Amino acid sequence: MSDNFLFADEVEGDEPTIHGSWKVLIVDDEPEVHAVTKLALNDFQFQHKRLEFFSAYSGSEARKLLLEHKDLAIVLLDVVMETDDAGLQVAQFIRGELQNQFVRIILRTGQPGQAPERQVIVDYDINDYKSKTELTAQKLFTVIMSSLRSYRDIISLEQSRLGLAKIIDASVDLFSSHSMEQFIDGVLQQLTSVLGCDENALLVSSSLVAGNVQTTDPHDLVVFAGQGEFEQQEGRAIKDVLEPNLLDAFEEALTSKDIVYRDNYLVAYCCSKFTQGSLLYVSGIPGPMSQNQRKLVELFAQNVQIAYENVQLQNEVEDTQREIVYRLSEAVEQRSVETGNHVRRIAFICYELAKAYGLPDVEAEKLMFAAPLHDVGKVGIPDTILNKPEGLNDTEWQVMKTHASIGFNILKNSKRAIIQAGAVIARDHHEKWDGSGYPAGKKGEDIHIFARIAALADVYDALRHRRCYKEAWTLEQVMVEITEQSGRQFEPKLVETFKTIVGKLEAILQKYPDDDTVTAV
């Protein structure tokens, strides 16, 4: 090991602001090598980041640190330690087991003959090879600088690749709230990559698509998408997420409706036609931004809001359609002197049953929105029959049963998937598992699963509430009845599913009660 290290004279001036660090792992069994390396690189900076050193004195220690720190930028690796090839085994561990192609491996050896340079570079995917006798302080500085530049560029490309993959995945179904989060998450990653930032980024808005959270105060902002330390913060108020100095910057950007540049981060106002606007936050900017970079931020701020508002408009259309379904169903229920909450309960009960039964999310949601239409055919039943408190005679019962076919005929010609599902449910929700139901006497799995679920949900809710012809039943009475009807009126598997989630279903009854409360257990 050479003592011929070169140290530059200190230059007076303002200390540059430091933002983060580059992680460097020193793997060598000689403590002096660790000490001298840290001393030589003590004042090293690259893109306003210092070096953060980690020390390992054997191959086994190196493996442990490599597992703990996935974001190491450089490994300064000795060859001969506890064994003659311990360092080479570490290199193989990095590239083979960890599949880490990002970290730059610089091999430092005091015995070049032990590990021939040509063979090592080829066989172990080493990025640089130095003899300890030739590695002066200046050469060490140079090799670290070049390695960090390579690492930065590789990570930037990887972030771009990941961001593009997210955008491609999201573009399959851009207008669902989940894929919109994916889309913006990917674009955030692309932007931070292009600007050379770290991965801390945030998009907040006064109107949040995911979860239908709407705020009236333009300064009451919530997180829409986040990267880095803001990941998994979606839906939270920024006052609960950000520190006071960041909140001030957000307030300034919202008030000025412009881009605020501070220290090593920016907050960009995203203009809007339909909401009070959104704000984009990106941190870890490595230095002064060029005019092109600023233009990129401006374009992003404009276009991400356009995509965001397209989703809002799509959700508004869908919400309007769903509300029409609820209103129509509630109007029918009012004719039978029942509160409108029955149809809301049926919707959520069906959703929980469908999910527990194993239906895909998209099918469970379709059932939830279509289930309120199950009794729409009652619009064609006379009030004298619909609201008769005593039992119906045979003639009246035959009229009453026609509501299934009436409902189907009202809905059957629609081209909308939810209305089509509603038609099937309206027609078949009085069919029974054993074939004794109406209107067609269908049996078993010939009855659509939507209708089987809606039938159980309808009976459960009707029994648990007072009707003009009966009082509300206790949960115990309802459980006995539904169990007895397993294999007769209801599918046995569905009954077992019902039993496993009855607690969730009871919570729905409590959340959407009729004017008279649900009977206590």
| Active-site amino acid positions | 378
Question: How far is Cα 337 from Cα 378, in angstroms, rounded to an integer?
Answer: 12
> Can you read off the two tokens belonging to residue 158?
């990887």
Among 414, 416, 415, 437, smallest CA distance to 427 is for 437
- Tell me which residue has tokens 């939270």: 236
Q: How many CB atoms lie within 10 A of CB 304?
A: 22
Length of the chain equals 521
- Tell me which residue has tokens 């690492």: 151
Q: Which H or E run includes 262? A: strand 259-262
Query: How many angstroms separate the first and last alpha carbons of the chain?
Result: 82
Among 104, 103, 166, 137, smallest CA distance to 5 is for 137
Question: Do residues 329 and 372 touch, judged by C-beta distance below 8 A?
Answer: yes
Output phi, psi for 456, to 5 deg: -65, -40
Strand-pair partners of 367: none
Q: Which H or E run includes 56? A: strand 49-56
Question: How far is Cα 460 from Cα 462, in angstroms, rounded to an integer?
Answer: 6
Question: Do residues 439 and 430 touch, judged by C-beta distance below 8 A?
Answer: yes
Question: How far is Cα 131 from Cα 120, in angstroms, rounded to an integer?
Answer: 13
